[in-house]
Structure 1
């Protein structure tokens, strides 16, 4: 688990410095501690609380497999954000924000594919057949695309969240995310409006030290989410390779004989708990039938456990294009917890659920969601991904 940020660290980094009092936004009043020498001072205790809240949400989004798009085009932040975010393999924009980056995502993807086609031309020798002037023009186009869109080349669909440094400067990105109901995380200074932001981190967004410490903790949380996802997928892969009950028995025997002392103690404790559960559930009859039931019962439990856990946990509905974390939460709360349930639901009913949950989700178009859910429920993930790449924001 990542180390929790302390108020002292934020204080040393200058996170508490706000703007001049005459430039403040009154909506930031709850996050302002005091005024000193004509400058507002941010309440760092609230910064810590809000940062922890944002990190928990970012970790969850990263663990679900969705991308988080980081936006920071100001001079003080661009190099820091590019360095930190590249370490966790997330997309970022540190040059100019391309208008329609989210609302016209299909066109942006075409530009990215153009970059890939130029690379293929250079590999297969087609590039060398062009004239000197044409090669120069293609090289310039490739360099321009790389500068503006190179960092989002692996983002094949709309991001699961947007992280912004300085919402005043990146107001177009914020508006586009709002229109598509994408959750917005942001560093908010005393001159910004926090009302349009889902996860506010009140902090100094002008000083490089302040940006560095906030981005360090944010990217650590994202890295944790990615590590959890990797571990979960690894365990699922291992579980799919062998039958559940024999694997459990083999593990018990091997663990007691071969593992170190600490692992032995844990294995014995687990075996004792399982034996106790079996004995409590097994009726007291003759000795021979009792032994037989004790052998059969664990196999039955092992066989039933995955389906029970799946029914309780449900499916990750955010894998459907157009469904964000908030929309998924509203749908799950209505009783639709799996891809199969969503495939059977009518789009009018889904629209009604979203509108009742929040007026901000009233613009969402769930027409294609049952179709996507049907493909997901049938396990046609390649077909689903291909379909999502062709359409715009999940709307045919």
Structure 2
């Protein structure tokens, strides 16, 4: 995971709390000091809380568990939905659905109904129905989508919930606590950090602060999930796809393969055919004349 620096937290505006008149007494453990009527959050405590939350979220992704992102306040809606879509996580940016966790069986029926209607619409099944029926179904689908859009991929209760503002999402926090679902949350100076399993003390109103924290935790989850997928692929014997080279790397490879012009090719040595040695004719030995015996006639 990427190392967190106090400078990044400062630039994101994570240190600004609420007015001193709106503080929660149990938030004093991470308040640095009041300044001009506003509490300043200790960024060292923010860094510690964020690291602990990121480690937990990383293990969630590594073990293939589900993390639900919840942020219905105006400043958080766009940030949460964009981050969730980028890595394929379920999210809820409209109002919290009552009984979403505690009455999951009934909620699941509505999600299945929405998915079936979408499937029938896209596969042109609705074309067989009368026009007034199609209009009625379209209206019902839009109503259901306004509530359940973002959680259509869920098939079971999430293993953990990430909440941007626990004062805003009281119902979500209550249901998660009742079903013993782990809660990660941004906790400002006006909230009780003891209600959360993994509190991150920070500004939950500034877009910059929310964006930095949400993206960091989502990337930690995605990093853990990719590591798990890589290990499974290796175990199954699936080869990893070759890394695509960028323009500079491709140019370097071409230059390496390209022959150098200043080096002249050496002429090949022609092998001389060796002629067989000439045969030496042996000199004939002189024939000795037979000796004539004395006394012969």
TM range (shorter): 0.7 to 0.9
**Whole-Å separation in 2 of the counterparts to 1:63 and 1:149:** 27
Counterpart residue number, 1:219: 218
Counterpart residue number, 2:2: 3
Long gaps (5+) in structure 2:
239-297
- Find out whether 1:234 has 2:233 as its counterpart: yes
**Whole-Å separation in 2 of the counterparts to 1:85 and 1:19:** 28
User: Counterparts of 1:1-396 in structure 2 under 5 Å?
Assistant: 2-123=1-122, 125-238=124-237
Residue aligned with 2:200, SS: strand
**Whole-Å separation in 2 of the counterparts to 1:209 and 1:69:** 21
**Whole-Å separation in 1 of the counterparts to 2:41 and 2:156:** 36
Residue aligned with 1:41, SS: strand
Q: How big is the alpha-carbon RMSD for the aligned residues of Structure 1 and Structure 2?
A: 1.3
**Whole-Å separation in 1 of the counterparts to 2:231 and 2:56:** 18
With structure 2 as the length reference, what TM-score do the two structures score? 0.77
CA drift at 1:124: 5.1
Larger radius of gyration: 2
CA drift at 1:166: 0.4
**Whole-Å separation in 1 of the counterparts to 2:41 and 2:223:** 28
**Whole-Å separation in 1 of the counterparts to 2:227 and 2:147:** 31
CA drift at 1:145: 2.1
Residue aligned with 2:184, SS: strand
CA drift at 1:125: 4.3
CA drift at 1:98: 0.6
1:32-65 CA distance string (max 9 Å, x none) = 0000011000000110011001000000011111
**Whole-Å separation in 1 of the counterparts to 2:206 and 2:92:** 19
Dislocated runs of 4+, deviation >6 Å: none
Long gaps (5+) in structure 1:
240-396
1:124-173 CA distance string (max 9 Å, x none) = 54412333232122112212222321211111011111000000000100
1:285-305 CA distance string (max 9 Å, x none) = xxxxxxxxxxxxxxxxxxxxx
Residue aligned with 1:185, SS: strand
Q: Which of structures 1 and 2 has the larger relative contact order (alpha carbons within 8 angstroms, sep 6+)?
A: 2
Counterpart residue number, 2:281: none
Contact 1:5 1:217 in 2 (8 A): no
**Whole-Å separation in 2 of the counterparts to 1:117 and 1:210:** 38
With structure 1 as the length reference, what TM-score do the two structures score? 0.58
